[in-house]
Structure 1
Amino acid sequence: MKRTSVLLLLLIGLVYTCERDDICPESTATTPRLIIEFNDIANFEDSKNVRQLTVIGIDDEGNNVNTLISRTTTNELALPLRIVTEGENTTSRFKLIRDADFDSDNNPNTTSNTDIITITYIPEFVYVNRACGFKSIFNSIGVEIESDDNQWILGRTINIENIENELNAHITLFH
């Protein structure tokens, strides 16, 4: 009986030592992703799907790092940005492959079209609370499209210069 009482008291003690603010709720805003929308170059206001879009993150040397989106027809993307050091100008680069039909070795075939975009920004760390810690926001957003002979992204607009949430598109790309 004494042993059961001790175990019961120990269990009750463990339950009450866990505080509510020790767990970060899913509803708490954390580091936002970059939201890109695609619009029609002929009519800037009209949304336009990109067929069979594949997005690949690339490093500073141009090597593929990871596939973020694979063969999806969409008019909007949510991409993660790299965080290197707070307050320093940072870049994230992505290959956007339109009509990403692949051969048996998973290489883009001749009908696909690849454009590379470079996103520049200055990360800032913001304290959220004890349970969630810090999140990053991204200031002074810039976007460059590497030009080539077969470019499919024909224009861009920065809608929101500082990324603090994922409520609206930060960048619009026209094709």
Structure 2
Amino acid sequence: MKKILLFIFLIFIIFSACEKDDFCIQNPITPKLIVRFYDASNRETLKEVNTFYVWAEGKDSIFSDISTDSLVIPLNGLATETIYNFSKNNVVNQFTVQYTPQEEYVSRSCGFKVIFNDLRFSSDNTWITDFTPETLTTIDQQNEAHVQIFH
């Protein structure tokens, strides 16, 4: 009887010493800024930007010589401002995004993600004629476009 109890006790100790595997099954990704480009004369029609280069201020090019009607770009979660340069046919337009980053705890296995609050957009409008919105409450997902740029 003592051997059975000892055996059961050892089995209990072995299984209780195992750690539960932690896998991140949620989507803890810090959202990126989604920009869509539209025709300035027909504001409902998407319009590609040709010979397009994108880089963050002080960084290397993110996109080089592409043609696209949408863009997914990261914001700096460690700063309160990200400045992007959008170059179309060698004409550079500076697009500034100001925000308040907020870390959000997801889970032990996933860690933290950053959401962006109180966003303000500005542009020096060289080849960009307009954009909407000028302010945005929060970016906490990346399911749809956040900013529409007209050119």
- When the two structures are superposed, what TM-score results if normalisation uses the length of structure 1? 0.71
User: How many angstroms does 1:33 deviate by?
Assistant: 0.4
User: 5+ residue gaps in structure 2?
Assistant: 1-13
User: How many angstroms does 1:84 deviate by?
Assistant: 2.2
Q: Distance in 1 between matches of 2:137 and 2:67?
A: 27
Please provide the CA RMSD for this pair: 1.9
Matches within 5 A, 1:29-68: 29-58=28-57, 64-68=58-62
Matches within 5 A, 1:11-160: 17=18, 19-20=20-21, 22-25=22-25, 28-58=27-57, 64-84=58-78, 90-99=80-89, 112-147=90-125, 151-158=126-133, 160=136
Contact 1:155–1:173 under 8 Å retained in 2? yes
User: How many angstroms does 1:23 deviate by?
Assistant: 2.7
Instruction: Provide Cα deviations, 1:36-61, integer angstroms capped at 9, x if missing partner.
Output: 11011101111110002110110xxx
Matching residue's letter, 1:36 = V
Three-state SS of the structure 2 residue aligned to 1:161 is: strand
Q: Distance in 1 between matches of 2:19 and 2:127?
A: 54
Contact 1:29–1:165 under 8 Å retained in 2? no
Contact 1:160–1:169 under 8 Å retained in 2? no
Matching residue's letter, 2:50 = R
Q: 1:39–1:91: structure 2 CA closer, same or farther, 3 Å change rule?
A: same
Matching residue's letter, 2:76 = R
Query: Which structure features the higher share of strand residues?
Result: 2
> Percent same amino acid at aligned positions?
30
Bigger-Rg structure (1/2): 2
Q: Distance in 2 between matches of 1:47 and 1:18?
A: 52
Matching residue's letter, 1:173 = I
Instruction: Provide Cα deviations, 1:102-133, integer angstroms capped at 9, x if missing partner.
Output: xxxxxxxxxx1110110011111111111111
How many residue pairs match? The answer is 135
Instruction: Provide Cα deviations, 1:55-113, integer angstroms capped at 9, x if missing partner.
Output: 0110xxxxx3121111110011111111226xxxx1100110113xxxxxxxxxxxx11
- When the two structures are superposed, what TM-score results if normalisation uses the length of structure 2? 0.81
User: How many angstroms does 1:160 deviate by?
Assistant: 4.8
